[in-house]
Amino acid sequence: MSLRRKTKTDIDYARLREKMVEDQLRRRDVRDQLVLAAMSKVERHLFVPQKHRSRAYDDCPQAIGHDQTISQPYIVASMTEHLDIDRDSKVLEIGTGCGYQSAILAEIARKVYTIERIPQLYTMARRNLQQTGYRDIECRFGDGSAGWPEAAPFDGIIVTAAAPRVPEALFDQLAPQGVLVIPLEVGGLHHQDLIKFHRTPQGIVRETLYQVRFVPMRGDVEE
């Protein structure tokens, strides 16, 4: 038996991913089979910077550069589950980051659109998505506060940065029965709640899910 220390190339990422799904998702409250299958499949370690790869499946967010993060696996899964999407859905994501959440959405939905405002992350996400085979995702560089009007309406809209308010354009671009999931700063900068808005025939229904901690959403939404 070799006594040499395990190198990074020896790491069994498939096993780490399986354990992440079991311990962090199934043992908590993630039940949607489409979400669990997507989280089991997408190779999260290929989306994070090389130096953080060995920790990609840890139960916490990871730095992706430019003061931004990839969310904790549980938060990615839970937000996706709350979107209530399926194979027929068209989805918009604001805040592409490294592209991991976009890949999870693409495993479930018919079509995914995603917007990122930091040019280096936009480029990195496109490269990550190309290299991992998610070539069908539409990526846009810019301020997601305006949504993506040409591609609307969306069955699901997910915002992965904390906003002081919901950009009006996102409500306008939500399909009938559509769901918008967004972290909102409530009662000051340091308290954020994850909010689910559901468009019903009677109007928009607001539900507070749980407290979260996201990087801030920048751009027009700040005005």
* Interface contacts to ligand SAM, rule CB under 6 A: 64, 68-71, 94-95, 97-98, 100-101, 115-118, 121, 143-145, 160-161, 214-215, 217-219
3-class SS of residue 122: helix
In the bound complex, what is the minimum distance in angstroms from residue 91's beta carbon to ligand SAM?
A: 12
In the bound complex, what is the minimum distance in angstroms from residue 205's beta carbon to ligand SAM?
A: 25
3-class SS of residue 172: helix
Per annotation, catalytic residue among 2, 40, 54, 71: 71
Torsion of CA 48, 193, 118, 60, to 10 degrees: -10
Return the number of the residue (30 or 217) whose C-beta is nearest ligand SAM.
Answer: 217
40 part of the active site: no
Q: Nearest 5°: CA angle at 134, between 51 and 61?
A: 35
Taking the C-alpha atoms of residue 124 and residue 49, their distance in angstroms, rounded to an integer, is 10
3-class SS of residue 145: helix
- CA R_g for the chain: 17
In the bound complex, what is the minimum distance in angstroms from residue 19's beta carbon to ligand SAM?
A: 20
Return the number of the residue (65 or 153) whose C-beta is nearest ligand SAM.
Answer: 65
Return the number of the residue (1 or 123) whose C-beta is nearest ligand SAM.
Answer: 123
Catalytic residues: 71
